């Protein structure tokens, strides 16, 4: 069953956090809980698995060299494609009443690219995307950068461009700056992710339920 009947719009919920913050685990947990309630949920992520997203991943891994400003534009372009492409564009899904959960959205751009340029520029570069679809809720899982780096090292041997402690601290601080800057027009919850995973999952579940329209 869809979350919204009678032609009402769906909901768009975004998960944000620095690398290793446990977003993917929490998205999986919340999606399972929602499906257990016999509700439909569509999960997705950025950078996408599409043409632009795949190009971006090659740049993040260092396989293709890229200027940071160009990379920031590519993320914005990947996001536009995610929103409006004919096959599975998110804007239409929301219009048709679907619940969509997305791993990263424009706050990732504000936080990651503001390392290299003015955050206002990044916000501006994403303004068309924001006009097309603003999340009903952005869940930020806030975990100590040291803990995140440990988790990443335990899982993988090859680290990506942004997976270094100083960078992770800076990105976390940029996230908090962006939340403060946009708090009047965005709905954001910051969740202490340094707690046991099930406890974090329960807090997230309660927040997400507040966003879903009553049956």
List interacting residues with ligand TYD (CB under 6 A): 19, 46-47, 60, 75, 103-104, 108-109, 112, 160, 162
Question: From the CB of 164, what's the least distance to ligand TYD, in Å?
Answer: 11
Residue whose CB is nearest to ligand TYD in the complex, by number = 112
Question: From the CB of 140, what's the least distance to ligand TYD, in Å?
Answer: 13
Query: What does the alpha-carbon distance between residue 198 and residue 206 come to, in Å, rounded to a whole number?
Result: 12
Query: What does the alpha-carbon distance between residue 138 and residue 142 come to, in Å, rounded to a whole number?
Result: 12
- Give the distance from CA 159 to its chain's centroid: 20
Which residue's CB is nearer to ligand TYD, number 8 or number 58? 58
What one-character DSSP code corresponds to residue 158? S
Which residue's CB is nearer to ligand TYD, number 3 or number 72? 72
- Dihedral angle at the C-alpha atoms of 106, 109, 112, 117, nearest 10 degrees? -140
Which residue's CB is nearer to ligand TYD, number 19 or number 98? 19
Which residue's CB is nearer to ligand TYD, number 3 or number 113? 113
Question: From the CB of 176, what's the least distance to ligand TYD, in Å?
Answer: 16
Q: What is the DSSP string of 37-51?
A: TT---EEEESS-SSH
Which residue's CB is nearer to ligand TYD, number 61 or number 96? 61
Q: What is the DSSP string of 112-144?
A: HHTTTS-HHHHHHHTHHHHHH---SEEEEEE--
Question: From the CB of 167, what's the least distance to ligand TYD, in Å?
Answer: 9
Question: From the CB of 169, what's the least distance to ligand TYD, in Å?
Answer: 14
Q: Does an H or E element contain 101, and which?
A: strand 99-103
């Amino acid at each position: 069953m869809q979350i919204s009947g009678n032609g009402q719009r769906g909901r768009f919920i975004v998960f944000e956090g620095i690398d290793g913050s446990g977003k993917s685990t929490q998205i999986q947990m919340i999606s399972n809980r929602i499906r257990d309630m016999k509700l439909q949920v569509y999960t997705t992520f950025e950078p996408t698995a599409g043409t632009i997203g795949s190009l971006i991943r090659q740049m993040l891994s260092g396989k293709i060299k890229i200027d940071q400003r160009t990379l920031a534009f590519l993320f914005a372009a990947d996001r536009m494609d995610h929103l409006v492409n004919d096959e599975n564009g998110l804007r239409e899904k929301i219009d048709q009443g679907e619940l969509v959960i997305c791993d990263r959205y424009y706050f990732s751009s504000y936080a990651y690219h503001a390392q290299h340029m003015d955050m206002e520029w990044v916000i501006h570069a994403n303004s068309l995307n924001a006009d097309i679809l603003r999340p009903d809720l952005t869940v930020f899982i806030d975990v100590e950068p040291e803990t995140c780096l440990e988790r990443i090292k335990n899982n993988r041997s090859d680290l990506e461009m942004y997976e270094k402690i100083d960078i992770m601290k800076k990105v976390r601080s940029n996230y908090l700056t962006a939340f403060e800057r946009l708090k009047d027009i965005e709905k954001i919850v910051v969740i202490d992710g340094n707690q046991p995973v099930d406890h974090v999952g329960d807090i997230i579940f309660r927040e997400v339920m507040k966003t879903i329209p009553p049956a």
